[in-house]
Chain A
Amino acid sequence: MKVKVWGARGSIPAPGPEMNRYGGNTSCVELELSDGSTLIIDAGTGIRSLGVGIAAKLPKVNILLTHLHLDHIQGLMFFAPCFRSESELTIWGPSSPEASLEERIARYISAPLSPVEVRELPCEMSFLDTPATEWELGPATVRAQAVTHRGPTLGYRIADAGTTLTYISDHEPGLGAPLESLEPEWISGYDLARDTDLLIHDCQYTDAEYPDHVGWGHSRLTDTLTFASRVDARRLMLFHHDPLHSDEFLDAFQETATERWSEMGGDPAAIEMAAERDEFEVIAPATVPAAVSRG
């Protein structure tokens, strides 16, 4: 499974020369599956650039949305395949008793917030609630599970060709929960992320910033590391960077995270900070040891 990060920023796009290395686009990750097909997770502003490259090549696209906060759907209206009649887009997302997925997304892609309406988009677009059980998309098996955040929010686990990637971009697993000692079945997202080869996880706040943001739905470093350790993730990518965090800040944050991970017994090479346009491959478990050895 090949992965490319098109947007790693959370909350709001954060352009600027001081943000260039990690990027200012909001959440979007592209997966190239074992059969060459593409799966996209989240449609933050990062999806705009992704779409420029694939519009002519891919008539069928599946997009998995974790939730409908603007930073995860804002790029959808600027996703080039939406404006091609040959394109078939399937948007997956969390269900709601209040309105269908299409109706909820249409609140954004409609007047006065948008010059176009969802129904006017030339592509063939369908909206589906994620199933309660895992399902197949091409060669991949996908599982969605609700996780602790503000509003209905999903994490996704994608399994393909013997490798797994778990994406939990917006998550506050430590909210009111002693993550170190809590039984696994009581940890939000545990089952989804257990033994995953790559965990892409919310790490928006430093430990020092977190007290002013408790209950905002995002994780501090300690909780992200503890969660990754508890689920035995083989590799951890810190995601959803705060819009205030410059490149310099994130460099230092990365250093701190790596030191803390090592102190926890983790492999320092198995933790990294997500950066826009990063490309890599998820490696099968036989070739990479678990990121943290748990006694």
Chain B
Amino acid sequence: MEQKPLELVLARNFLTSLSTPAFLVDERGDLLFYNEAAGALLGISFEESGRMPASEWSKAVGPLGDDGKPMPIEEIPTTKALRKGRPAHGRFTVRSVRGDTYEIESSVLPIVADGGQEGAMIFIWPTDANSGNSD
């Protein structure tokens, strides 16, 4: 495995320390890491799930639109942030492995260094304290 750029190394170390659920993706949107808080929300730790290509992890957890269907890729904040190299924010639903759904707000911050776009940090906040009940 190729050495990760220092900026991603530091980002992962930073996200590890947070109580805010957070994810780290590479420049393609492939999942590199998520922290314990995110694992608690999703119902599966990163150690169990491991890295995933963008298509796989969006299929697993979302995001889902108001209609409960997967959001078009170009509307996903992560896609916007990676394509434009600018922060993006959105509100949508994600799904845990237990089948629970959570409405969340998400802020995505691209990581851009000397070598260009390296990835992004994704921070999420559940919007509804009562979310998480199975249908």
Seen from chain A, the residues whose Cβ lies within 8 Å of a Cβ on chain B are 95, 97, 132, 145-148, 175-177, 183-188, 190-192
A148 to B3, Cβ gap below 8 A? no
A177 to B3, Cβ gap below 8 A? no
B72 interface residue (CB < 8 Å to A): no
Q: Which 3 A-B pairs have the closest CB atoms?
A: A176-B13, A191-B3, A146-B6
- Known pairs A145-B3, A185-B4, A187-B9; list 4 more (Cβ under 8 Å): A176-B14, A184-B3, A185-B2, A186-B9
Chain B neighbourhood of A188, CB < 8 A: 6, 9-10
Chain A neighbourhood of B5, CB < 8 A: 146
Chain A neighbourhood of B3, CB < 8 A: 145, 184-185, 190-192
What's the least CB distance linking B23 to chain A, in Å? 15
Name which residue of chain A comes closest to B113, CB basis. Answer: A146
Interface centre among A145, A148, A186 (most CB of B within 10 A): A186
12 sample A-B contacts, Cβ–Cβ < 8 Å, listed by A number: A95-B114, A97-B114, A145-B6, A148-B10, A176-B13, A176-B16, A177-B13, A184-B1, A186-B12, A190-B3, A191-B2, A192-B3
Chain A neighbourhood of B12, CB < 8 A: 186
Name which residue of chain A comes closest to B10, CB basis. Answer: A148
Chain A neighbourhood of B13, CB < 8 A: 175-177
The count of chain B contact residues (Cβ–Cβ below 8 Å) is: 15
A176 to B2, Cβ gap below 8 A? no
B133 interface residue (CB < 8 Å to A): no
What's the least CB distance linking A133 to chain B, in Å? 12
B4 to A186, Cβ gap below 8 A? yes
A176 to B17, Cβ gap below 8 A? yes
Chain B neighbourhood of A97, CB < 8 A: 114
Knowing A145-B3, A185-B3, A188-B6 touch, does A132 contact B17 (C-beta < 8 A)? no
The distance in angstroms between the C-alpha atoms of A175 and B5, with both chains bound, is 16
The distance in angstroms between the C-alpha atoms of A147 and B7, with both chains bound, is 9
Name which residue of chain A comes closest to B12, CB basis. Answer: A186
Knowing A95-B114, A132-B115, A176-B17 touch, does A183 contact B6 (C-beta < 8 A)? no
What's the least CB distance linking A199 to chain B, in Å? 16
The distance in angstroms between the C-alpha atoms of A147 and B75, with both chains bound, is 36
The distance in angstroms between the C-alpha atoms of A95 and B114, with both chains bound, is 9
A183 to B1, Cβ gap below 8 A? yes
B1 to A185, Cβ gap below 8 A? yes
Chain B neighbourhood of A185, CB < 8 A: 1-4
What's the least CB distance linking B8 to chain A, in Å? 8
What's the least CB distance linking B7 to chain A, in Å? 8
Chain B neighbourhood of A146, CB < 8 A: 5-6
The distance in angstroms between the C-alpha atoms of A185 and B114, with both chains bound, is 19
The distance in angstroms between the C-alpha atoms of A176 and B9, with both chains bound, is 10
Chain B neighbourhood of A95, CB < 8 A: 114
The answer, among A132, A148, A192, for a CB contact under 8 Å with B9, is A148
Name which residue of chain B comes closest to A129, CB basis. Answer: B114
Chain A neighbourhood of B6, CB < 8 A: 145-148, 188
